[in-house]
Amino acid sequence: MSTENLLKYSIVVLLLPILSFVINIFFGKKLKRASGVIGTSILMLSLVISIIIAFTKLSVYSGAKIIQTSAEWVNFGNVPGIGPLSIVVGIGIDNLSAIMLVVVTLISALVHLFSTEYMSGDPKYTRYFAYLGFFTFSMLGIVLTNNFFLMYVFWELVGISSYLLIGFWYEKRSASNAAKKAFLVNRVGDLGFWLGILILFVSYKSFSFDVIFENIKSGNLPFNSGFYLTLAGILVFCGAIGKSAQFPLHVWLPDAMEGPTPVSALIHAATMVAAGVYLVARVFVMFTADALTFIAYIGAITAFVAATIAITQNDIKKVLAYSTVSQLGYMIMALGVGAYTSGFFHLVTHAWFKAALFLGSGSVIHAMHHALHKAGDHHTDPQDIRNMGGLRKTMPITFITFLMCTFAISGVPFTSGFMSKDGILAGTLAFAHLSGHWLIPIIGFTAAGMTAFYMFRLVIITFTGKPKTTFAENTHESKLVMTLPLIVLAILSFWFFYSVNPFDASKGWFANWIKPPQTVVPAQYQWNFLTTKVSEEVASIDQTMEVEATKTVLEEEIHHNHTTAMILSLSVAGIGILLAFVFYFWKKVDVDALTEKIKPIYNFSLNKWYIDELYQSTIVNGTTAFSRLLGWFDNTIIDGAINGVAAISKWFSFFSGKFDNVVIDGIVNLTAYGTGFIGLLFRKAQTGKVQTYLIIVLIGLVLLFYFVS
C-alpha cells in the first residue's frame, strides 16, 4: 500500500463513524432496531481498515517518522503588522496515531455491539447510536490531525458529543446536571489549551506541529523566552487536565457515570479521557523541564487522591470511575517523568481492561436491574455492591473476565497491566534518582498498592460469598452479544500481545514501535538526562572508549531500575490484595468497627475529600453571589441611572412644553394680536380718498424730520 492510499484509508476511517451518525439521526425512526446493527457494522468496518493501516505503518513504513498531508484552508493574505498569514490543516499517520486508531475503533465497535442488547427497549435507541458515531468521529479526528487548530476543533466536538452522551437520559436531573458539570469543567481546561495554542501561533504564525517544533529546535522560542515556552506547554497541558480528569478538574468524571454504562466504557477507556494523555504524548517534545515536573506532580497527586476515594465507594461504577482517574494520573505522571513508552503503553493496556471492567459492571447492573424489575422493586439500587454478592455462580463469564482484568489493573504478573505499571514505576525511580524528586515514586507505589486493594475489594464484595439480597440470587448471565466483548477485551489484557518476556516489555515489539521522541527544547531549558545520550556521558568520562548508544541517560537509568521497580510493585500489589482478602473475604477484621474508629478519615474518603463541596461553597456560590451583585448593580445602578435620566428627560420635556405653550406661543400670539390690532387701526385710514393719503404722508414726513433732526 502506498503512502497516498494509507492517508486515503485514514480519511475513510475518520468519515465512517460520521456516516453512522447521519444515517441514524435522519433515518433512525424508520430503521428502529436495525440502527444498532448498522452502527455496529460501520464501526466494525472502520476497525478492519484501522488494523490494515496500523499493520502497514508498523511493518512497511516503520522507519518513516510520519506520513502526512496538508492543505491551505484559509489565506488571510498580507496582514498589516503580521505579514503573510494562512491556516493550514492536515492529517498524519505515525506509530502513535496508528495504534490509537485501532484502540479507538476496537473499543467503539465492541461498545456498539454490547449496546445493541444493553440499550434494547430504550425509546431513544436510534439517537444513542447516532451519538456514539459522532463521539467516535470526534476522537478519531484528534488522533489523525497534524496541527493544533484542527485538533482543537475535534477537541471541542468531543466535548459536545460527551455532553450529549452523559446527559442521554436528560429527563433525570442527576444526568442533566452531570452533563452540564462535565461540559463546564472541561471548558476551564480548554480555555488554557486555547491560550497555549495562541502563544505558539502568535510566535510562529502556524498551527502545524512540525513548524512549531522546528522553530523551537532552532532556538526560536516564544517571545524569545524560555519562560513563555514553559507557559505555553503548561497551558496546552491544561487541556489534558480537563479531558483526562486530572486534579483539580477531575470532579466531572465520576458524575459522568449518569450516562449509560457502555458510554462509561467508551469515555473511560479509549476516547475522551484518553485524549488528554494522547495530547501530552503528541506534543511531548516541546515540554521544558519545569513543564514536565509540573505534569509529573499533577499526575502523581491525581493518582493518589483518586485511589484514596475509590477505597470507600459502594457504587460499582463509581469505584471504576475513580479507578480511571487514578490510572490516568499514572499515565500523566509517566509522561512527566519522561517514561514516554510506558505511559503510552499503559494508555493502550488500560483501554482494554478498563473497557472490560465497565462493560462487566454493565453486565452486572443489567442482570440486577432485570431481577429487580421482575420482582417489581424500583427502589433498590442495582449499582450498589452491598446489594450483590455471590454473582460468580450466576454470572460465571462476567466474573472470570472481570477477575482477569482486575489482575491486570492491579499489576499481577503475566498481564499487560503488570508490564506497563512496572515501566511507569521504574521511570519514577529513575527520574527521582536523576532529579531528586523522590515524592513522585513514593506516591506512585502507594497508589499502586491502593489500586490492588480497592479492586479486589470490589471483586470480593460483588462476586464472592453468599448473595446479600434475593435479587442477587435471581440474576443470570448476560447474552453472548454482551459477554463476547468482555472475552475479547480480557484476552487482550494478557502479556503475549506486547512482548515475549512477560516480565519486561522493554524488549517487546510494542517498545520497538513506540520509542521516546527526541526533545526539541534547547538544553538550557531541559533536563540534561533527556538530552544527553549514554554514549556522550561515557565519552565525557573516558574519551578513549567508543560506545554506540542511542538511549538517553534517563532510558538507561529506567533499565537499571527495572528489577527494583518490579520487586516493589509486586510487593505493594501483594499487600493490597492480601489486605482486601483479610478485610472482606476472610473477615479477620471487623470493617464496620474499624470504620467507626477512623470515621473522620473514612468520611473524608467517602465524601471525595469534600472537593465538590469546596467548589460548591467557593466557585459555585461565589459565582452565584457575584451574579447577584451584578444583578443588583444592573437593577439599581444601571437601571437607576437610566430611569433617572428618563425622569429628568420627562421633567425637561414637561418644562419645555410649558415654555413652548406659554412663552413662545404667547409671544407669537401677542405679536399676531398686535399686528392685527395695528392692521385694524390702519384699515380705518384706508378710505380710498387721495386727500387722506396725502395728509398721512405729510404727517409721516414731519415725524421723520423731527426724529432725525
pLDDT band at 546 (very low <50, low <70, confident <90, very high): very low
User: In this structure, are residues 384 and 357 in contact, taking their beta carbons and an 8 Å threshold?
Assistant: no
Task: Give whichever of 150-159, 527-536, 685-694 has the largest mean pLDDT.
Answer: 150-159
What's the pLDDT at 654?
A: 78
Cα-Cα-Cα-Cα torsion 302, 308, 311, 315, nearest 10 degrees, comes to -50
How far, in Å, CA of 618 to CA of 611, rounded?
A: 10
How far, in Å, CA of 308 to CA of 310, rounded?
A: 6
> Which grid cell is 702?
414731519
CA distances to 24, 104, 205 from 21, in Å: 5, 16, 35
User: In this structure, are residues 138 and 164 in contact, taking their beta carbons and an 8 Å threshold?
Assistant: no
Region 430-456: what's the mean pLDDT? 95
How far, in Å, CA of 308 to CA of 83, rounded?
A: 54
Angle at 531 between CA 530 and CA 536, to 5 degrees: 115
pLDDT band at 538 (very low <50, low <70, confident <90, very high): low
pLDDT band at 689 (very low <50, low <70, confident <90, very high): low
**Could you count the other beta carbons within 10 Å of the beta carbon of residue 139?**
30
**Could you count the other beta carbons within 10 Å of the beta carbon of residue 382?**
21
Percentage of the chain modeled with pLDDT above 70? 94
Report the run of H or E that residue 128 belongs to, with start and end. helix 125-144
> Which grid cell is 654?
414637561
pLDDT tens for 89-140 read: 899 999 999 999 999 999 999 989 989 888 888 888 899 999 999 999 999 9
**Could you count the other beta carbons within 10 Å of the beta carbon of residue 513?**
20
The phi and psi torsions of 285 (rounded to 5 degrees) equal -65, -20
Q: Which of 161-170, 419-428, 497-506, 554-563 has the lowest mean pLDDT?
A: 497-506
The phi and psi torsions of 75 (rounded to 5 degrees) equal -120, 115
HEC string of 62-73 equals CCCCCEEEEEEE
User: In this structure, are residues 423 and 506 in contact, taking their beta carbons and an 8 Å threshold?
Assistant: yes
Region 604-619: what's the mean pLDDT? 89
The neighbouring-strand residues paired with 71 are 89
Record the pTM. Answer: 0.86
pLDDT tens for 476-508 read: 998 888 899 999 999 999 988 888 888 888 878
pLDDT band at 550 (very low <50, low <70, confident <90, very high): low
Question: Over 70: is that where the pLDDT of 688 sits?
Answer: no
pLDDT band at 190 (very low <50, low <70, confident <90, very high): very high
What's the pLDDT at 543?
A: 47
Question: Over 50: is that where the pLDDT of 544 sits?
Answer: no
Structure letter (DSSP) for residue 1: -
pLDDT tens for 401-437 read: 999 999 999 999 999 999 999 999 999 999 999 999 9
What's the pLDDT at 549?
A: 53
pLDDT tens for 624-656 read: 888 888 888 888 888 888 888 878 878 887 787
Radius of gyration of the chain (CA): 37
pLDDT tens for 280-311 read: 999 999 999 999 999 999 999 999 999 999 99
User: In this structure, are residues 480 and 118 in contact, taking their beta carbons and an 8 Å threshold?
Assistant: no
When the pLDDT of each residue in the chain is averaged and rounded to a whole number, the result is: 88
CA distances to 367, 371, 377, 384, 644 from 471, in Å: 9, 5, 9, 12, 69
What's the pLDDT at 682?
A: 61
Q: What share of the chain is helix, strand, coil (3-state, %, to 5)?
A: 75, 5, 20
Region 438-450: what's the mean pLDDT? 96
What's the pLDDT at 540?
A: 54
Of 104, 109, 111, nearest in space to 142 by CA = 104
How far, in Å, CA of 594 to CA of 601, rounded?
A: 11
What's the pLDDT at 455?
A: 96
Of 488, 493, 483, nearest in space to 114 by CA = 483
How far, in Å, CA of 322 to CA of 305, rounded?
A: 9
How far, in Å, CA of 301 to CA of 440, rounded?
A: 9
How far, in Å, CA of 53 to CA of 98, rounded?
A: 7
How far, in Å, CA of 294 to CA of 291, rounded?
A: 5
How far, in Å, CA of 404 to CA of 24, rounded?
A: 35
How far, in Å, CA of 287 to CA of 274, rounded?
A: 19
What's the pLDDT at 537?
A: 55
What's the pLDDT at 259?
A: 83
pLDDT band at 547 (very low <50, low <70, confident <90, very high): very low
What's the pLDDT at 174?
A: 87
pLDDT tens for 352-398 read: 899 899 889 989 998 898 888 887 777 788 889 998 989 999 999 99
The residues, ordered by sequence, that sit 6+ positions from 533 with a Cβ below 8 Å of its Cβ are 549, 550, 551, 552, 553
pLDDT tens for 17-49 read: 999 999 999 988 888 888 889 999 999 999 999
Higher pLDDT, 700 or 648: 648
| 3 state SS of 517 | coil
Q: Which of 210-214, 235-239, 268-272, 310-314 has the lowest mean pLDDT?
A: 268-272
What's the pLDDT at 656?
A: 75
How far, in Å, CA of 257 to CA of 178, rounded?
A: 8
pLDDT band at 686 (very low <50, low <70, confident <90, very high): low
pLDDT band at 581 (very low <50, low <70, confident <90, very high): very high
User: In this structure, are residues 244 and 276 in contact, taking their beta carbons and an 8 Å threshold?
Assistant: yes
